[in-house]
Amino acid sequence: MGDKPTIAISHLGCEKNRIDTEHMLGLLVEAGYSVDTNEELAEYVIVNTCSFIEAAREESVRTLVELAEAEKKIVITGCMAQHFQEQLLEELPEAVAVVGTGDYHKIVDVIQKVEQGHRVKFVSEQPTYIADETTPRYRTTTEGVAYLRVAEGCDYRCAFCIIPHLRGNQRSRSIESVVTEAQQLASQGVKEIILISQITTNYGTDIYGKPKLAELLRALGKVDVPWIRMHYAYPTGLTPDVIAVIKQNNNVLPYLDLPLQHSHPEILRAMNRPWQGRVNDAIIERIKDELPEAVLRTTFIVGFPGESDEHFEHLLQFVKRHEFDHVGVFTFSPEEGTPAYNLPNQISQEIMDERRNAVMELQQPISLKKNQQEIGKVVDVLIEQEHPETGELAGRSGRFAPEVDGQVFVKGNARLGAIVPVTIQNADAYDLYGQIANS
């Protein structure tokens, strides 16, 4: 084993990328490679890149350039490798391999070929691979949390989005495969499983002929894990069936991540969103009526080409009216290869930034009010961090998803990875503060 090179992985981008990273780590460890978090000690650095928007690409390029300057042998994987394969090989002589989003499971083969002196390119034009419960995996999240991918790729063609081009069409795993992996994670002590895909509410359509999210959640409800959280749930897919399952299963959190992107029908039509502008108030109100305890998170894009002051005002009123628990706002990023790239009436970055700030300013007191409603309650908190000096603990209640929402700062003693009852004593716009109950 001693003669095998040491490898580090630099992970950039979303949690879907994170799962790819975890599978590459698992495969390399299984094949006997030393994997080190310290890039300085590694001969090879695998950079799992993001190419979703311009800012993400810039971060990926910065990382690649720094490693090239440090004279590392670089293996470029992920969305940017899929997107700019030839350019990367041309412009970065230090890149010994590029590996596409549907080819990361060949990582051991890639390293072996590179070791033999080859410069390698494995990029399937149309990614079709999806890992399952039999693929080795080395988790990189805190011990209590794991992401579980139920499907990969996307069949929608939103005008601003390059993801289908980078990750292919939707391909779901079977219910049995997902449940088996959930059971494996539960047996490892995982307390929160986060279901992800590009559109979780479309889960199963490709293999079963219709969406099977309700059936999947029902099956996962029997897994011995306290929390199951869903990301990327299109509101039109939150059928009465799905909502009924959330109500019936104590371990399925009533946390709904709704990637709405806008409120105005004209902008939604221009975006080529799947329901063509039918995200009306009725859908949101129905969800709130049927699931009054639901925590609603959403994301919006401001500055889509042609967004007028009137369109933007519509969005502000929508945010005001529905009082979402959490809101994320992105400015439009023109992506080459998408229909929105060449649309007329592009909007200046300055106006886009102003609009983003206006939505965030409007949302802050709403988030504060929602958090303040937690004061006095005893809520379950998954403990994830301990401050090395003060010993103060930090974790999350069911209201908060990792990395995108707030945290709960906790006084008292608890084990990392445990779920404990916490009395909430204070709140600000982002975070909650409390004391472990009975301590």
Rounded percentage of the chain residues whose pLDDT exceeds 70: 97
Task: Write down the pLDDT at residue 276.
Answer: 52
- Residue 291 sits at φ, ψ, to 5 deg, of -135, 70
390 — pLDDT class (breaks 50, 70, 90): confident
Q: In terms of DSSP H, where are the helices of 149-196? A: 163-167, 175-187
Angle between helices 213-220 and 175-187 (to 10 degrees): 30
pLDDT tens, residue by residue, 301-326: 999 999 999 999 999 999 999 999 99
- Determine the distance from the C-alpha atom of residue 136 to the mean position of all C-alpha atoms in its chain, rounded to a whole number: 21
Q: Annotated binding residue at 147? A: no
Whole-number Å distance between alpha carbons of 82 and 102: 9
Nearby residues of 277 by Cβ (< 8 Å), 6 or more positions away: 264, 265, 266, 268, 269
- State in words which class domain 145-373 has: alpha beta
Task: Write down the pLDDT at residue 215.
Answer: 97
Residue 235 has pLDDT above 50, yes or no: yes
Locate 41 and state its tokens.
């000690």
Whole-number Å distance between alpha carbons of 175 and 235: 22
Segment 207-212 shows an average pLDDT of: 96
Mean pLDDT of all residues belonging to the chain: 91
pLDDT tens, residue by residue, 29-40: 999 998 887 888
Question: Residue 250, Cβ neighbours under 10 Å: how many?
Answer: 10
Q: Is the dihedral of CA 157, 161, 164, 165 positive or negative?
A: positive
Whole-number Å distance between alpha carbons of 130 and 206: 13
The residue ranking higher by pLDDT, 265 or 175, is 175
Burial of 217 per CB tally in 10 Å (0-12, 13-18, 19+): buried
The b/e string for 234-247 (b: 16+ C-beta within 10 A; e otherwise) is bbebbeeebbebbe
372 — pLDDT class (breaks 50, 70, 90): very high
Residue the block writes with tokens 């945290």: 407
Q: Please check whether residue 52 is in contact with residue 14, taking contact to mean a CB–CB distance below 8 angstroms.
A: yes
Using DSSP's 3-state secondary structure scheme, residue 151 falls into strand
Closest listed residue to residue 237, CA positions, set 258, 267, 208:
258
Q: Which has the minimum average pLDDT: 153-157, 245-249, 252-256, 288-292?
A: 153-157
Q: In terms of DSSP H, where are the helices of 323-430? A: 349-372
Whole-number Å distance between alpha carbons of 9 and 394: 27
- Residue 131 sits at φ, ψ, to 5 deg, of -70, 155
Residue the block writes with tokens 């949101």: 284
Q: Annotated binding residue at 296? A: no
Whole-number Å distance between alpha carbons of 356 and 132: 38
Residue 1 has pLDDT above 80, yes or no: no
Classify strands 408-411 and 393-396 as parallel, antiparallel or unpaired.
Answer: antiparallel
Q: Please check whether residue 289 is in contact with residue 332, taking contact to mean a CB–CB distance below 8 angstroms.
A: no
Most confident of 126-135, 138-147, 208-217, 230-239: 208-217
Burial of 358 per CB tally in 10 Å (0-12, 13-18, 19+): middle
Locate 58 and state its tokens.
């810039």
Q: Which amino acid is at 368?
A: L
pLDDT tens, residue by residue, 347-358: 999 999 999 999
Q: Annotated binding residue at 223? A: no
Long-range contacts of 277-284 (CB under 8 A, 24+ apart): 278/236, 279/235, 279/236, 281/318, 281/321, 281/322, 283/235, 283/236, 284/235, 284/258, 284/322
Segment 381-401 shows an average pLDDT of: 93
Whole-number Å distance between alpha carbons of 96 and 77: 11
Q: Annotated binding residue at 154? A: yes
Domain boundaries, the chain: 7-122, 145-373, 377-436
Task: Write down the pLDDT at residue 439.
Answer: 58
Q: Annotated binding residue at 158? A: yes
Q: Please check whether residue 320 is in contact with residue 362, taking contact to mean a CB–CB distance below 8 angstroms.
A: yes
Whole-number Å distance between alpha carbons of 427 and 223: 33
Q: Please check whether residue 78 is in contact with residue 97, taking contact to mean a CB–CB distance below 8 angstroms.
A: no
- State in words which class domain 7-122 has: alpha beta
94 — pLDDT class (breaks 50, 70, 90): confident
Q: Annotated binding residue at 20? A: no
Using DSSP's 3-state secondary structure scheme, residue 249 falls into coil
Q: Does domain 377-436 bear CATH number 3.90.650.10?
A: no
Residue 41 has pLDDT above 90, yes or no: no
